[in-house]
Amino acid sequence: MYSVPRTIFTEEHDMFRQSLRDFIAKEIIPNNAQWEKDKQVTRESWKKLGENGFLCLQAPEQYGGLEILDFRYNAIFIEELGLSGCSGPAIGYPLHSDIVFPYIHHYGSEPAKSKYIPKMISGDYIGAIAMTEPGAGSDLQAIRSTAEDKGDHYLLNGSKTFITNGFLCDVAVVAAKTDPSKGAKGISLFIVDKEMSGFTKGIPFDKVGLHAQDTCELFFEDVRVPKENLLGNVGEGFKYLMTELAQERLIVALAAIALAETTFLSTVEYVKNRPAFGKMVSDFQNTRFKLAEMGAKLEQGRIYADQLVMLHNSNKLDGAMASSAKYLMTELQCNVSDECVQLHGGYGYMWDYAVARAFADARVQRIYAGTNEIMKELIARKILD
């Protein structure tokens, strides 16, 4: 049986994992098929996560958080969602807690932190991050949204696309140009609230996969953003993005390995029970070799992923290492889901089969959070530095 010994977790981590696993079994897995049809999870699910203390684990106690400063808990959260095979939740919930929340926590003004962090912990407010625009994805410096300083507020105009949690979001961290003449140094980040007049949303996109994810466009027309909603200093947004993107890429890597493992494990069961030529599919040498190749790579990936978590816990994970992790783990996920479809034969192409959905879901992992081509650029930059 495929299993990799884990050495980085304590009994407390295991207890947290078990309570989370029970929660996912009761509240997420039974609802995921409906959420995929609805193209979104429910607000109620966010509130339940909040009530059970699963959102924004690192949030300080002063805002009602648990202040758990140990990334292993975040890793368990991502891993268990990934192992459930519920890919929409596996991406959307961690994005809120481990990507959007850190921007507000690290760079928010005190009034903004007091206003938004408690609501993000409780699940009353759902977070999104809006960098990508129709004309600028990989090349973030080319964004065209603008935020003009009007004295007591910024006036935000522009649009964003492909925004995860976009349709349900109550609060979005938005990148905009405060000085279009300055390239990267002219980009700033803002907290935009659903209550702000001029902030509207598109409808969730029809995507190849991640059907329970409410990915959509966001529009900003003369949105008055209070000065206290600027994150950090004006003109430093690009620097903050580059800093925080390391954790975002690690999260995608951790989701990738867990989603790949669950696809692999269900395929092992399938081939053991599928007859052909008077044997089981698992009896063919080709199947055994394919399983061996995948199992070996997954084992390697799991040990690597655990070590990345420990490096991140001790602040030693740099941007290029996070890029390597994102690149390697998402390529592995795509490779495993493709091979697993093949081992299922025609059934692997049927949407009712988890492996078909896993195949479709995996593809985008090589695209968002920076494409894998951009990851290679970042890795090469460090090597050649």
Q: Within its chain, how far is the Cα of 303 from the centroid?
A: 20
Q: Check binding of 318 to ligand FAD (CB under 6 A).
A: no
| Cα–Cα distance for residue pair 95/135, rounded to 1 Å | 23
Looking at the Cβ atoms of 89 and 287, the one nearer to ligand FAD is 89
Spatial contact of 176 and 236, defined as CB atoms under 8 Å apart: no
Q: Check binding of 188 to ligand FAD (CB under 6 A).
A: no
Within positions 1 to 60, which residues make up the interface with ligand FAD, using CB under 6 A?
none
Smallest separation (angstroms) from ligand FAD to the CB of 206: 11
Angle at 112 between CA 70 and CA 187, to 5 degrees: 90
Q: Check binding of 262 to ligand FAD (CB under 6 A).
A: no
Q: Which of 138, 141, 273, 286 binds ligand FAD (CB under 6 A)?
A: 138
State the binding string over 324-363 for ligand FAD (x if CB under 6 A, else -).
----------------------------------------
- Strands in the chain per DSSP E: 127-130, 146-149, 153-163, 171-177, 187-193, 199-201, 216-226, 230-231, 275-276, 279-280
Q: Check binding of 163 to ligand FAD (CB under 6 A).
A: yes
| Cα–Cα distance for residue pair 86/88, rounded to 1 Å | 6
Q: Check binding of 377 to ligand FAD (CB under 6 A).
A: yes
Q: Check binding of 311 to ligand FAD (CB under 6 A).
A: no
* Candidate list 244, 248, 261, 339, residue with the active-site label: 248
Binding part of the chain for ligand FAD, among 73-81, 126-134, 144-152, 252-260 by CB under 6 A, reads 126-134
Angle at 235 between CA 229 and CA 240, to 5 degrees: 75
State the binding string over 207-246 for ligand FAD (x if CB under 6 A, else -).
x--x----x-------------------------------
State the sign of the Cα–Cα–Cα–Cα dihedral 334, 339, 344, 350.
positive
Instruction: Give residues with Cβ within 8 angstroms of 218, minimum separation 6.
Output: 128, 130, 159, 160, 161, 163, 166, 169, 172, 174, 199, 200, 201, 202
| Cα–Cα distance for residue pair 55/74, rounded to 1 Å | 9
Looking at the Cβ atoms of 30 and 134, the one nearer to ligand FAD is 134
Binding part of the chain for ligand FAD, among 44-52, 67-75, 194-202, 367-375 by CB under 6 A, reads 367-375
Residue least distant from ligand FAD (Cβ): 137
Q: Check binding of 130 to ligand FAD (CB under 6 A).
A: yes
State the sign of the Cα–Cα–Cα–Cα dihedral 247, 80, 26, 273.
positive
Looking at the Cβ atoms of 97 and 267, the one nearer to ligand FAD is 97
Q: Within its chain, how far is the Cα of 350 from the centroid?
A: 26
Question: Which pairing describes strands 171-177 and 127-130: parallel, antiparallel, or unpaired?
Answer: parallel
Q: Which of 137, 158, 301, 319 binds ligand FAD (CB under 6 A)?
A: 137
Q: Check binding of 176 to ligand FAD (CB under 6 A).
A: no
221 catalytic residue (yes or no): no
DSSP letter at 133 equals: B
Q: Under rule CB under 6 A, how many of the chain's residues touch ligand FAD?
A: 20
Looking at the Cβ atoms of 287 and 333, the one nearer to ligand FAD is 333
Looking at the Cβ atoms of 11 and 139, the one nearer to ligand FAD is 139
- Measured from the Cβ of residue 275, the count of other Cβ atoms closer than 10 Å reads 9
For the chain, what's the residue count?
385
Q: Check binding of 187 to ligand FAD (CB under 6 A).
A: no
Q: Check binding of 168 to ligand FAD (CB under 6 A).
A: no
Looking at the Cβ atoms of 210 and 328, the one nearer to ligand FAD is 210
262, amino acid identity: T
Residues with active-site annotation = 248
Site residues for ligand FAD per CB under 6 A: 129-132, 137-138, 162-164, 207, 210, 215, 364, 367-368, 370-371, 373-374, 377
